[in-house]
Amino acid sequence: MTTQHPSRPRFRWHESLSFRILICVIAAVLIVEAVIFVPSASRFRTEWMRDRVQAARVAALALEAAPSRMVSEELADDLLMRAAVLSVAELSVDMREQILAPTVPFAGPTLMVNLTEMQGMTRFNATMGTFFAPEDRLLVIRAPGSAPGRVLEVVVPEAPLRAEMTIFGRNILILSLIISAAVGALLYLMLFLMVVRPMRRVTQSVEQFRDDPGSWTRRLSPTPRRDEIGRAQNALSDMESAVSESFRQQERLAQLGEAVAKINHDLRNSLSTAQLVSDVLSRSEDPRVVKTLPRLERALERAIRLTSDTLKYGRSSAPDANITALRLFDTVEEAAGEVLAAQPGITFDNQVGLQDTALADPDHLHRICANLIRNAAEAMEGEGAITASFEGTALKIADTGPGLPEAARNNLFKAFAGSTRRDGTGLGLALSRDLARATGGDLKLDQTGDTGTVFRIELPVGE
């Protein structure tokens, strides 16, 4: 059955991380410029009004130079026009002196502005109010006069101020856009090289893993970067290598399982032939044949079951157990005799009591003990001692070998991974644990070290 992967979504440039980073940078610069614009515009407004006051003072000085402080209407209009004001007056505590009178009566709303008192939020509020003021509003500006205690009062139209502030704001906006575009492009380039491009490679690799985990055409290479992105890329590169190796191993195991399935029929036929030969031998009157034949028959039966159980293990199903009460001494003794017959340098000490019994499957327990004893003999390379004992509910198999290496302990009960021999499959301990658990018990590593290794087979005690 072919797995259907969802179609890859169409790439849209406006959904990319780089585009979003660029927009965020431009927006951040514009926000900062907007925050800066208010005090800048307020300062521009204040300086504009001070310029008008200064022009009014210059016009008043020209009037002081005239005889009897009297000028013609044409000159007065010219002074007002040059100063860009409507009227100029000077106030004292009890008198108002009109220096330059308006040429026409005032019409429209007025706003009183005292340059000596405008500070903080008052200036900011008045600045923003200028943009929304009526077209005909007049500003009555008051500033320090020509002598202490006197106040200079200048009336100007607000429309020119609003027009100049609009131009000022437009210039600030254009400058802000230029700055934001330049800063955004620079930051985008740096972020693209440092973040976006590495993340794009990581994303492409992850998407390919999603679409086809078993094929790697765009492998990530390790990077010397030590930041978060570098660590993520290196971790993903290690994961790709591990997963790729795992897929190759799984493929080899699948091929191995297929090969075992193909030879299983022939192997069982060969074992059946051996069984027929054992039937012929059963009619022999030779005492040695009569004594050895039962062991041969049981060995053949176990071999036939082993081929079937191996296939069952490949299908992730544990062999069925036939639970019965049995004497542990006989089972351990028979397993040791079968395994150590060709190991004269190994001494076996069966310390299991003659009356110790347990609930277990005879064949399962025999295979577990045989596997443990065989592994111990191979680990000791034909020289050493093996001891079997029963304590409480645990049957223990101990040896005097060199102990298990660290790599073998981590994968001890994993098929095809826990073997310490080059030609080993690691299937023995994995099957042995499944057999022990099928009887309601378990198989565990009790201890290991330079003095030897002890495995513990936990079984329920029978009467």
Residues 2-56: tens digit of each pLDDT: 444 444 445 455 666 667 777 777 787 778 877 888 888 888 888 988 888 888 8
pLDDT of residue 350: 93
Full DSSP string of 181-192: HHHHHHHHHHHI
Assess whether pLDDT exceeds 80 at residue 217: no
CATH class, 219-317 region: mainly alpha
Mean pLDDT calculated for residue range 401-405? 87
Nearest to 155 by CA among 115, 112, 117: 112
Q: How confident is the model at residue 347 (pLDDT cuts 50, 70, 90)?
A: very high
**25 touches 183 (CB < 8 A):** yes
Mean pLDDT calculated for residue range 52-71? 70
Q: Give the lowest-confidence range in 25-34, 87-96, 365-374, 382-391.
A: 25-34
Any idea what DSSP says for residue 461?
B
Please tell me the distance from the alpha carbon of residue 192 to that of residue 199, in angstroms, as a whole number: 9
Which stretch of DSSP H or E encloses residue 197? helix 197-211
Assess whether pLDDT exceeds 90 at residue 319: no
Any idea what DSSP says for residue 6?
P
Any idea what DSSP says for residue 195?
I
pLDDT of residue 175: 83
Assess whether pLDDT exceeds 80 at residue 206: no
Instruction: Decide which of 287 and 313 is more confident.
Output: 287
Mean pLDDT calculated for residue range 305-315? 58
The dihedral over CA atoms of 380, 384, 390, 394, expressed in degrees to the nearest 10, equals: -20
Please tell me the distance from the alpha carbon of residue 149 to that of residue 93, in angstroms, as a whole number: 7
Please tell me the distance from the alpha carbon of residue 141 to that of residue 148, in angstroms, as a whole number: 18
Please tell me the distance from the alpha carbon of residue 255 to that of residue 249, in angstroms, as a whole number: 10
The pTM of this model reads 0.42
Please tell me the distance from the alpha carbon of residue 430 to that of residue 416, in angstroms, as a whole number: 9
- pLDDT > 90 fraction of the chain, expressed in percent and rounded: 9
Segments of the chain assigned to CATH 1.10.287: 219-317
Interhelix angle for 287-314 vs 328-339, to 10°? 90
Residues 104-150: tens digit of each pLDDT: 777 778 888 888 776 666 777 888 888 888 888 998 888 888 778 88
Please tell me the distance from the alpha carbon of residue 79 to that of residue 246, in angstroms, as a whole number: 94
Instruction: Decide which of 419 and 407 is more confident.
Output: 407
pLDDT of residue 316: 47
Beta strands at 384-391 and 394-399: parallel, antiparallel or unpaired: antiparallel
Residues 221-243: tens digit of each pLDDT: 677 777 777 777 777 777 777 77
Mean pLDDT calculated for residue range 245-268? 68
Is 418 exposed, middle or buried, given 0-12, 13-18 or 19+ CB atoms closer than 10 A? buried
Residues 73-87: tens digit of each pLDDT: 676 677 777 777 888
Pair of tokens at residue 48: 């504009």
Q: Give the lowest-confidence range in 65-69, 231-235, 425-429, 450-454.
A: 65-69
Residues 89-101: tens digit of each pLDDT: 888 877 888 877 7
Positive or negative torsion for Cα 199, 205, 208, 213: negative
Please tell me the distance from the alpha carbon of residue 153 to that of residue 90, in angstroms, as a whole number: 6
Backbone dihedral region of 121: left (phi > 0), alpha (psi from -120 to 50 degrees) or beta? alpha
CATH class, 320-458 region: alpha beta
Query: What integer best gives the mean pLDDT of the chain?
Result: 77
Pair of tokens at residue 392: 């409480």
Segments of the chain assigned to CATH 3.30.565.10: 320-458
Nearest to 177 by CA among 321, 8, 284, 29: 29
Nearest to 375 by CA among 407, 404, 334, 345: 404
pLDDT of residue 2: 42
**411 touches 418 (CB < 8 A):** yes
